[in-house]
C-alpha cells in the first residue's frame, strides 16, 4: 500500500514525459502502444468476472418465468455470484474455459445479445411469438420487473395475426403508443395487402411486418430488426418493441417521452447579455440546441454507449471537414476504452478520458451553455454530450480558454477586454492574496505603509493567534459557508447567509478572534474566486491557495515566488488531448486577439491554431466592407457621408 501511495504521489508530481509537443502525434505513439498491447480495452487486472453461469439464459430456458416465486436463482444470482471459498474480496477467479474467455462480466445476462461484436451470432428473433415473448420475459424479468409493460393484441385481418408490444412505463410516451401504434394496428389493420408489402426475400407472400412497417405504424422513426438484443436496447432507451407472430423480424419504434426538466437558465454560467438557455438532462434537447446554432450538414453526431449497466448514450459532436480527424479518433478511442459498470455523469467521464488525472488543473472544459458549445465547435473542438447530464464536455482546452466566458464575445470588445483583465487579476488575487497578506505582515513589515502597519498592529494586539492560524481559521470558515450554502435545503437557505455574516463578520471580530482587516482579505479572496468562470478551475484555485498560504507563512514572498514557479513549471507540461495547456502564451501559436484581451471581432480572421483544424480561415480579412475607414471597401459615393 505504501507502494501505491508513492505511486500516486509521484503521478501527481510528474506526468509521463512527453516527447514532442506536436499535438496529436502523441496519439500515434499511444495508439501504437495500444496496438502492441493487444486489443483495445481489456485491462483485466483481476477484476471480478463471474464464472460462466451454466444457468445463463443463453438458450432461453425458462428461469424466472411467469408466476414463479422469486428464488435465489432468480435475477439476483445471475448477476452476482456468491463468493467462493478462497476468493479475496473484489476478486474473482477468471473464467477458465468457456465459449468466451474474455473478462467481460456477463453482469446483466445480456452478453449473448450484444451486437458490438459482429462476429458473434446473435440470437435471432423467432417466428413464433410465444417463443419471442418468453425470451423477452426472461431477459426483462417480467412479471417481477414491474417497469415493463407487455401488451398483447391481435391485428385483425382476414387472417388475424397475434402481436405484442413491450415498453417501459415512464420512459415511453403512452399517447404515441396508444394512438400511433395500438390504434392503427388494432383498428385499422384491415387494409388489403399490397405489392409493396411483399418482402422480396420471402417470395410472393405479403409479409405482415412489411405491411405494418409501410402502412400500419405511422411513427417517424421505425426500425426493422431481426435480432433480439436490438429490441432490448430499443425498449431500454424508451422505445416500443412490436413483435408479430409469424415473422422473424420485429419493429422498434421511437416513442421516447419521459418527464424531464424544461430548458432553463444556466445555473453556473449566467450572463447579462446573451441567451439564457442551458442544457438539460435530455440529450436530444441538447443536441437540438446545438443544431439550431450550427445549421450545417457537416455537423456530425456520433453515438456511443458507455457503461455495462448504465449504457448511457454519449454523443460526440464535431464538424466534419473542420475538426482535426486525429482528435476525433482519439476522443473516440478514449471513450470506447471505458469499460465500467456504471457511469452517468459527464464529470465522471471527464475523469476517465483526461490526460492528467493526477494533476490539480482540469484539462477538459464543461459548460452548460449551448451557445458556448456551438462556438467551440466552430473553432475545431470536439464536444461530448452525455445523456442525463446538463454539462457538455469540450476538448481540447487551454488554461486561457477556461477563463473565458460567453459574454466576452457578446459585449463590445473594450468591455470584453476590461472584463477579461478583471478576471485575470482576480485569478491571481484568489490564488495568493491570503498568502501575500500573511507574508507581508509576518516577514516584510516594511512594505506596509506606516499608518496601515500601525492600524494592523493595533487591531492584532487583541488577537491571540499568529496570522497564519487566523487566516486558516477564517478561510476554513469560508469554505464551510460555501459548502453549506450549496448543500443546505432551500427552505433554510437564507438563514445561512445571515448566520454566516453574523458569525464571521461581526461576532468573530468583536470577540477578538480575527482582525477586521483579515475579514476584508478573505472576503475579497472569496469574491475573486467566484469570478473564475469555470467551476473546476475555481476548485483548483481553492486548493492551491492553501499551498501558497503555507509557502508564504514559512518563507514569505520568497516562498510564494518559488511555489508559483513550480506551479507554472508543472502547468507548462500539462496537456489537454495533446495540446499544451499554456497555449497560446507558450508555445505561441497565435491567439488572434482573443487571449487575455479581447480584440474586435472583425479582426479575428483565423481560428486558434491549437486545435489544428483543417481550415484556418474563418472570415475574410475585411468583414465590414461598407465601413470606409477599414481598408478597401467599395466607396459609397458622395452621399455616403462619414
Partner 1 sequence: MRHEQIGSREAFFLLFAVLSAKVFLSTPRYIAEDAQTAAWLLIVLAALWAALGWAIMVAFLRRFPGLSLIEAVEQTLGPYLALPVQLVYTGLFVYVTVVALRQFAETVLSAILPITPISVISVTLLGASAYACYLGLESVTRTARFFVPVVVFLVTSLLLLAIPSGARADQLLPLLGPGPVALLWRSLQRSSLFIEVLLLGVLVPNLKEPEKMPRIGYQAIFASALFWLAVEVVFQMLFPYPAGAKNPFPLLAVARLIAIGRFLQRVESFFIFAWIFAAATKLSGMLYGAISSYAQLLHLKSYRPLTAPFLVLVLALSFLPSNLIEATQWDRGALRVWGAVPAFAPPLLLLGIAAIRGKGGRERARHKG
Partner 2 sequence: MALSSAGCWDRSEIDELGYILALGVDPAPKGDWFYTIWLAVPRKMAPGAGGGGGGGAAGGPQRSINVTTIEAASLGTALQMMNTYIARRMTLEHAKAIVVSETQARSDMISILASAVRFREFRRNTMIVVTRGTARDFLEKNVPSIEENPARWLELMLGHEAWNGFIPRSTAHEFLLEEESEAMLPVTVLAGINERATKPLPGSTKGSDGKPDPSGGSGSDQPASPRLPPLFVDGAYLPGEVPRSGANEAELIGAAVFRGAKMVGELNGDEVRLTGLLRGKARRFFAAEPDPKFPGYYVGLDIRRAREPSVRVSFDGERPIVDVNVRLEGEITSIQSLYDWTTAENLSVLQEATARDLQKRMQNLVRRSQQEFHGDIFDFGDRARGHFLLWKDWADYDWNRHFPQAQVNLQVTFELRRVGLQLSPPPPPESMPQPGPRDQEPGGGQEGGGSP
Residues 366, 272: Cα–Cα separation, whole Å: 20
Interface with partner 2 (CB under 8 A), residue from 149, 150, 338, 453: 453
Shortest reach from residue 497's CB to partner 1, in Å: 36
Q: Which stretch binds partner 1 (CB under 8 A): 77-85, 358-366, 458-466, 581-589?
A: 581-589
Q: Which stretch binds partner 2 (CB under 8 A): 34-42, 211-219, 444-452, 568-576?
A: 444-452
Residue 467 touches which member of partner 1, partner 2, none, C-beta under 5-8 Å by kind? partner 2
Give the max Cα distance, the chain: 103
The grid coordinates of residue 287 equal 443536441
User: Rule CB under 8 A: which of 22-41 touch partner 1?
Assistant: 22
Beta bridge partners of residue 299, listed in sequence order: 319
Residue 346 binding partner 2, by CB under 8 A: no
The grid coordinates of residue 235 equal 425498449
Element (H, E) at 266: none
Site string for partner 2, 544-583 (x = CB under 8 A): ------x--xxxx---------------------------
Residue 449 binding partner 1, by CB under 8 A: yes
Interface with partner 2 (CB under 8 A), residue from 454, 480, 499, 568: 454
Residue 10 binding partner 1, by CB under 8 A: no
Residue 466 touches which member of partner 1, partner 2, none, C-beta under 5-8 Å by kind? partner 2
Beta bridge partners of residue 365, listed in sequence order: 394
Q: Would you call 201 helix, strand, or coil by DSSP?
A: helix
Shortest reach from residue 605's CB to partner 1, in Å: 22
Question: CB of 406 within 8 A of CB of 376?
Answer: no
In order, the DSSP letters of 548-594 are: HHHHHHHHHHHHHHHHHHHHHHHHHT-EETTEETTTTTSS----TT-
In order, the DSSP letters of 118-158 are: TTS-PPBPPS-HHHHHHHHHHHHTTTT-TTEEEEEEEE-SS
Instruction: Say what the alpha-carbon torsion angle 588, 591, 594, 597 is, to the nearest 10 degrees.
Output: 40
User: Rule CB under 8 A: which of 44-103 touch partner 1?
Assistant: none
Residue 424 binding partner 2, by CB under 8 A: no
User: Rule CB under 8 A: which of 456-485 touch partner 2?
Assistant: 456-461, 465-469, 472
Q: How many residues bind partner 2 (CB under 8 A)?
A: 28
Specify the residue for cell string 425458462.
62
Q: Which stretch binds partner 2 (CB under 8 A): 71-79, 423-431, 438-446, 580-588?
A: 438-446
Q: Would you call 374 helix, strand, or coil by DSSP?
A: helix
Residue 446 binding partner 2, by CB under 8 A: yes
Interface with partner 1 (CB under 8 A), residue from 10, 30, 572, 617: 572
161-168/148-155 β-pairing: antiparallel
Site string for partner 1, 220-249 (x = CB under 8 A): ------------------------------
The Cα-based distances of 251 to 8, 139, 148, 247, 591 in angstroms read 51, 18, 17, 11, 52
Residue 403 binding partner 1, by CB under 8 A: no
Shortest reach from residue 414's CB to partner 1, in Å: 22
Closer residue to partner 2 in complex, CB, 448/496: 448
Instruction: State the burial class of residue 81 (Cβ atoms within 10 Å of its Cβ: 0-12, 13-18, 19+).
Output: middle
Residues 18, 493: Cα–Cα separation, whole Å: 48
Residue 173 binding partner 2, by CB under 8 A: no
Contact residues toward partner 2 (CB under 8 A) are: 441-443, 445-446, 448, 450-451, 453-461, 465-469, 472, 550, 553-556
Give the binding site for partner 1 (CB under 8 A).
Answer: 13-15, 17-22, 440, 443-444, 446-447, 449, 555-562, 564-566, 568-570, 572-573, 580, 582, 585-588
Amino acid at each position: 500500500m505504501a507502494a501505491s501511495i508513492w505511486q500516486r504521489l509521484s503521478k501527481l508530481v510528474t506526468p509521463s514525459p512527453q516527447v514532442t509537443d506536436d499535438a496529436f502525434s502523441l496519439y500515434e505513439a499511444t495508439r501504437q502502444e495500444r496496438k502492441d498491447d493487444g486489443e483495445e480495452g481489456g485491462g483485466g487486472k483481476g477484476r471480478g468476472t463471474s464464472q460462466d453461469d451454466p444457468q445463463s439464459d443463453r438458450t432461453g430456458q425458462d428461469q424466472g418465468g411467469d408466476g414463479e416465486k422469486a428464488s435465489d436463482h432468480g435475477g439476483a444470482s445471475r448477476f452476482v455470484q456468491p463468493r467462493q471459498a478462497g476468493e479475496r474480496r473484489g476478486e474473482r477467479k477468471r473464467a477458465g474455459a468457456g465459449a468466451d474467455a474474455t473478462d467481460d462480466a456477463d453482469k446483466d445476462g445480456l452478453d449473448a445479445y450484444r451486437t458490438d461484436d459482429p462476429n458473434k451470432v446473435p440470437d435471432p428473433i423467432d417466428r413464433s411469438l410465444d417463443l419471442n415473448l418468453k425470451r423477452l420475459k426472461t431477459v426483462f424479468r417480467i412479471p417481477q420487473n414491474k417497469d415493463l409493460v407487455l401488451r398483447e393484441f391481435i391485428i385483425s385481418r382476414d387472417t388475424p395475426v397475434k402481436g405484442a408490444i413491450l415498453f417501459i412505463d415512464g420512459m415511453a410516451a403512452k399517447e404515441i403508443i396508444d394512438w400511433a401504434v395500438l390504434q392503427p394496428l388494432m383498428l385499422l389493420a384491415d387494409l388489403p395487402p399490397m405489392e409493396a408489402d411483399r418482402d422480396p426475400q420471402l417470395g410472393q407472400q405479403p409479409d405482415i411486418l412489411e405491411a405494418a412497417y409501410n402502412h400500419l405504424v405511422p411513427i417517424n422513426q421505425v426500425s426493422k430488426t431481426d435480432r433480439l438484443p436490438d429490441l432490448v436496447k430499443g425498449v431500454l432507451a424508451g422505445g416500443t418493441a412490436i413483435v408479430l407472430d409469424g415473422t422473424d423480424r420485429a419493429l422498434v419504434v421511437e416513442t421516447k417521452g419521459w418527464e424531464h426538466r424544461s430548458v432553463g437558465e444556466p445555473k453556473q454560467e449566467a450572463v447579462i447579455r446573451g441567451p439564457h438557455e442551458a442544457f438539460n438532462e435530455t440529450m436530444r434537447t441538447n443536441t437540438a440546441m446545438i443544431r439550431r446554432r450550427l445549421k450545417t450538414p457537416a455537423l456530425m453526431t456520433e453515438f456511443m454507449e458507455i457503461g455495462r449497466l448504465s449504457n448511457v448514450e454519449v454523443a460526440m459532436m464535431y464538424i466534419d471537414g473542420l475538426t482535426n480527424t486525429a482528435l476525433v479518433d482519439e476522443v473516440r478511442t478514449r471513450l470506447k476504452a471505458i469499460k465500467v459498470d456504471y457511469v452517468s455523469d459527464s464529470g465522471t467521464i471527464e475523469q476517465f478520458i483526461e490526460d492528467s488525472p493526477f494533476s490539480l488543473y482540469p484539462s477538459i472544459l464543461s459548460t452548460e451553455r449551448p451557445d458556448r458549445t456551438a462556438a467551440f465547435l466552430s473553432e475545431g473542438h470536439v464536444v461530448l454530450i452525455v445523456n442525463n447530464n446538463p454539462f457538455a464536455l469540450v476538448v481540447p482546452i487551454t488554461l486561457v480558454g477556461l477563463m473565458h466566458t460567453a459574454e466576452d464575445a457578446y459585449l463590445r470588445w473594450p468591455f470584453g477586454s476590461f472584463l477579461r483583465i478583471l478576471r485575470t487579476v482576480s485569478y491571481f488575487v484568489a490564488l495568493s492574496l491570503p498568502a501575500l497578506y500573511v507574508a507581508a505582515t509576518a516577514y516584510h513589515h516594511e512594505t506596509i505603509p506606516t499608518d496601515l502597519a500601525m492600524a494592523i498592529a493595533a487591531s492584532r494586539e487583541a488577537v491571540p493567534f499568529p496570522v497564519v492560524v487566523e487566516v486558516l481559521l477564517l478561510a476554513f470558515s469560508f469554505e464551510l459557508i460555501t459548502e453549506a450554502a450549496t448543500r443546505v435545503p432551500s427552505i433554510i437557505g437564507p438563514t445561512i447567509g445571515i448566520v454566516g455574516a453574523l458569525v464571521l463578520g461581526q461576532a468573530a471580530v468583536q470577540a477578538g478572534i480575527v482582525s477586521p482587516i483579515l475579514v476584508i482579505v478573505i472576503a475579497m479572496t472569496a469574491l475573486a474566486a467566484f469570478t473564475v468562470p469555470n467551476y473546476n478551475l475555481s476548485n483548483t484555485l481553492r486548493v492551491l491557495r492553501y499551498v501558497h498560504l503555507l509557502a508564504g507563512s514559512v518563507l514569505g514572498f520568497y516562498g510564494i515566488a518559488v511555489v508559483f514557479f513550480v506551479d507554472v513549471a508543472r502547468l507548462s507540461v500539462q496537456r489537454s488531448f495533446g495540446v499544451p495547456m499554456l497555449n497560446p502564451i507558450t508555445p505561441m501559436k497565435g491567439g488572434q486577439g482573443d487571449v487575455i484581451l479581447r480584440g474586435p471581432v472583425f479582426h479575428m480572421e483565423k481560428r486558434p491554431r491549437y486545435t489544428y483544424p483543417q481550415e484556418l480561415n474563418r472570415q475574410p480579412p475585411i468583414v465590414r466592407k461598407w465601413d470606409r475607414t477599414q481598408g478597401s471597401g467599395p466607396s459609397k459615393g458622395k452621399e455616403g457621408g462619414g
